[in-house]
Structure 1
Amino acid sequence: CAAGKGTFGTEELVNRIRSTALEKIITHRRVIVPQLGATGVSCYRVRELSGFSVVYGPVRAKDIPEFIGNDMKTTAGMRLVRFGLADRLELVPVELAGGIGYLVFFMALSYIISGFGKGGYSTDDAFRYGSRAAINLLLIYIAGTTASPILLPWIPGRSFSIKGAIMEALFFLTACSLKLIETGILQLSGWFLVYTSVTSFIFMNFTGATTYTSLSGVKKEMKTAVP
């Protein structure tokens, strides 16, 4: 992702070599660059600007010791790009941590707003309706940050916005079956829009962490889906 959009490239690599005074730390003049970073790094320019030669290593950092022990040669396994369940699960805690503050804020806000009515403010209404709203927000959050990446290969559609909307529609139906949403047309339509839009938006954060999205494809999807 970083190599594709230019934030990890020749200039950044040279800048890091210079800022760390790498030539004073090590005796050789070689740097191992991740295989998937090749699109953003020019070996010739790095050598010209820093004096270091670039060696493209394995896909995964954990294979670097074996790569070095194998005389700087990659095996077929080192070049294999995986994105299985374990890989997708590694992304979940990051997304959970990044959005937990927003979740808590809106859950608290839902309790406060739910107490207002024609007769003034009611703590009973705040707890009754606020609890439902908070549970719905939690379901939305779980669907976007956890369920969607775990079930990614089996969710229909190619774009992440569509996949997220489909997953959230399933969670919306689950919420309705559990009677977490009132049956009025305004409540149903309102919560449906919140479910589908918020989950799609959250799930689109994973586009940069997958192994099969492209920068042009992500930009195109953002232009159509985000508005």
Structure 2
Amino acid sequence: MPEIPGYRRWHFVERFLETPAGPVPVVKTRLERPDRLGAALVRLGVGRGDYRVAPGLYAVGSPGPESPVLATANYKLTFDSLRRELSGLDAWLLVLDTRGVNVWCAAGKGTFGTRELVRRIGAVGLERVVRHRRVVVPQLGAPGVNAREVKAGSGFRVLFGPVRAADAPAYLAAGMKATPAMRRVDFPAAERVKVGLVEFANERKTLAWAAVAFFALAGLGSGWFSFARAFTGLCWGMGSLLLGFLAGNVLLPLLLPRLPGRAFSLKGAEAGILAGAAALLAGLPAAGAAGAWLGAVVGGSWWGMHFTGSSTYTSPTGVEREMRRAIPAQAAGLLAALALWRWGLGW
């Protein structure tokens, strides 16, 4: 079966459907091994920037002129989440060019927005494919879409669908009416931890350079350079750093609602206090143990503060205000942790 210009022939395309606007790829609703593997790697930050599908019109089942049109992003994880939920249904998927970004973030950036929606409707010739003039936009895309301007620019009326793709079948079955539960945004523990795991790949270079710095700084001292002390300092320093990393990227997401306070930097520090207890039980000299514990607290605070961009409960101004307050305290804590770490090693 020939490839359509502008479309990569993905494994999930099972056939092409002829329409008045040209052939449209029909995609599978069952995720396969490449989809699951790709999702797992992206969750760890591997290939995140290139995990996308070509924008355009797709289909599930055997849709016709009266079948619903669902708009989504060309981030493949988002695209897969939607098609997986549409098993047994006939629908059109209008994929916008969000540059490989999910609906919510793209709406904030403007790539999942009015201009792109109007342009994509015209580019695929949607008015020739369906007789109705309705397009369902996910609720999290609402900040970027002006329904009145879409209507004026394309002739299509925007209906804001549910938050979660899993609710799409029920929404369509109810005549495109959303219940209050479909409008509610939640962020359960499993989803929070998945987001935190992305930092494992994002911080690879940072962790590698930190290891080099710990080794070099620990080895320097009286008698020029001590390899024994360098290896000891490397183990202490990286142990503390990894405890802070786990505190901010795993423990904080897991315990987020239960940790006191509102600031993510504070919650991350609290998670670091818990994780850093492992350093106090490791049998290190007093100064070294204190430095490792404090380093875990600072690391937890630093990486915890990064989690603000993953929550729907923060605002840009609130994030900036928190950073102005937290970073000086984090810097002071880091210097104190390094001093205790070096003191514990001896000079």
Same fold (TM over 0.5): yes
Asked if residue 121 in structure 1 is aligned to residue 219 in structure 2, the reply is no
Report the counterpart of residue 202 of structure 1 in structure 2: 303
Displacement of 1:20 in angstroms is 7.9
- Cα distance in 2 for partners of 1:138, 1:176 equals 15
**Farther-moved stretch of structure 1 (131-140 vs 188-197):** 188-197
Structure-2 change in CA distance of 1:126 and 1:85 (3 Å): same
Return the offset for 1:119.
0.7
TM-score normalised by the chain length of structure 1: 0.81
TM-score, length basis structure 2 = 0.56
TM-fit CA distance, 1:57: 0.7
Greater fraction strand? 2
User: Which of 59, 73, 86 is 2:190 aligned to?
Assistant: 86
Q: Pick which of 109-118 and 22-31 moved more.
A: 22-31
Checking the alignment, whether the CA contact within 8 Å between 2:247 and 2:296 is kept in structure 1 is: no
Structure 1 69/134 Cα, relative in aligned 2: closer, same or farther at 3 Å? Answer: same
Deviations 1:38-93 (A, max 9, x none): 23432112222344322111111232233233322223432232222222122122
Structure with the larger RCO, 1 or 2 (CA within 8 Å, 6+ apart): 1
Between 125-134 and 109-118, report the one with greater CA deviation. 109-118
Distance change in 2, residues 1:216/1:148 (3 Å): same
1:159 and 1:206 mapped to 2: Cα distance?
Answer: 10
Question: Any idea what SS the aligned residue of 1:72 has?
Answer: coil
Structure 1 ranges of 4+ moved more than 4 A: 19-22, 187-193
RMSD across aligned C-alpha pairs, in angstroms? 2.9
Whether 1:160 aligns to 2:264 is yes
Greater mean deviation of Cα atoms: 150-159 or 100-109? 100-109
| Structure 2, unpaired ranges of 5+ | 1-103, 329-347
Specify the structure having the higher radius of gyration (Cα): 2
| Contact residue 163 and residue 183 of structure 2 kept, 8 A | yes
Q: Does 1:74 align with 2:142?
A: no
Counterparts of 1:37-76 in structure 2 under 5 Å? 37-76=141-180
Map of 1:179 onto structure 2: 283
Map Cα deviations across residues 180-218 of structure 1 (whole Å, 9 max, x no partner): 5x423xx57765664333322211222222243334433
Say whether residues 1:111 and 2:215 are aligned partners. yes
- Residue matched to 2:105: 2
Residues 2-41 of structure 1 aligned to structure 2 (within 5 Å): 2=105, 6-8=108-110, 12-15=113-116, 17-18=118-119, 22-24=123-125, 27-28=129-130, 29-41=133-145
Q: Which amino acid aligns with 1:14?
A: R
The count of corresponding residues between Structure 1 and Structure 2 is 222
Asked whether the equivalents of residues 3 and 39 of structure 1 are also in contact (C-alpha less than 8 Å), the reply is no
Instruction: Give the partner amino acid of 1:141.
Output: F
Gaps of 5+ in 1: none
Q: CA deviation at 1:171?
A: 2.7
